[in-house]
Amino acid sequence: MKILLSTHNKHKAAELLKILPKKNNKGEEIIYLSFKDFPSILEPEETGLTLKENAALKAAYGLKQTGLISLADDTGLTVDALNGAPGVHSARYAHSDRADYPANNEKLLRELSPFKDSQRSASFTTVAALALPNGEIIFKEGKVEGLITQEYKGENGFGYDPLFLVTEVGKTMAEMTAEEKNKISHRFRAFKQMAEIIKAL
């Protein structure tokens, strides 16, 4: 069985491969492909107004482009002091036309500079979407609570990981090993639920 990870993001794909099942409940091997295996396929334009809409859009796009069962997600960082920003625009927070992780982090630090630690509460939410050939799209959601730090901490992960302190662990996501992160992250919580759906396919 082949499943498409509907992304060009190699960091995300690597993270998902550590969470998703290698075999289904019948013992059949599951092969995961991504857009790197289809170089001519471009990223879809993320026009959704919510994480769920964007996740569905990307999953349906992958299915349409390749004919494969397609798995996608959209992740948003919600910062309470910024009235929920960057939210659905998290990947393109600094530049509306492209993802730029360093610029996103610098903008976030600037926007939060007037706020004390106790005012920097935030949460990460991932909505995963699985598009099936019959037109059905299955959704699962994961969430983790935390704080935005005053400075970068840690060398691992990607995106906002060096600034997102997970309250229950006391570390930023970038200070965690991949194994530690995959036990508690928003993406893990969403895709761990999705793994059970995939096993049953």
- Cα Rg of the chain (Å, integer): 17
Contact 130, 198 (CB under 8 A): yes
Residue 159: name the closest of 111, 94, 72 by CA: 94
Contact 186, 143 (CB under 8 A): yes
The CA distance from 188 to 121, in Å, is 21
> Do β-strands 69-79 and 121-131 pair in parallel, antiparallel, or remain unpaired?
antiparallel
> How many residues in the chain?
201
3-state secondary structure of 26: coil
The one catalytic residue among 37, 73, 74, 117: 74
- Residue 134 main-chain phi, psi, to 5 deg: -80, 5
Q: What kind and span of H or E run contains 53?
A: helix 51-66
In the residue annotation, 117 being an active-site residue is answered as no
Give the residue numbers marked as catalytic. Answer: 74
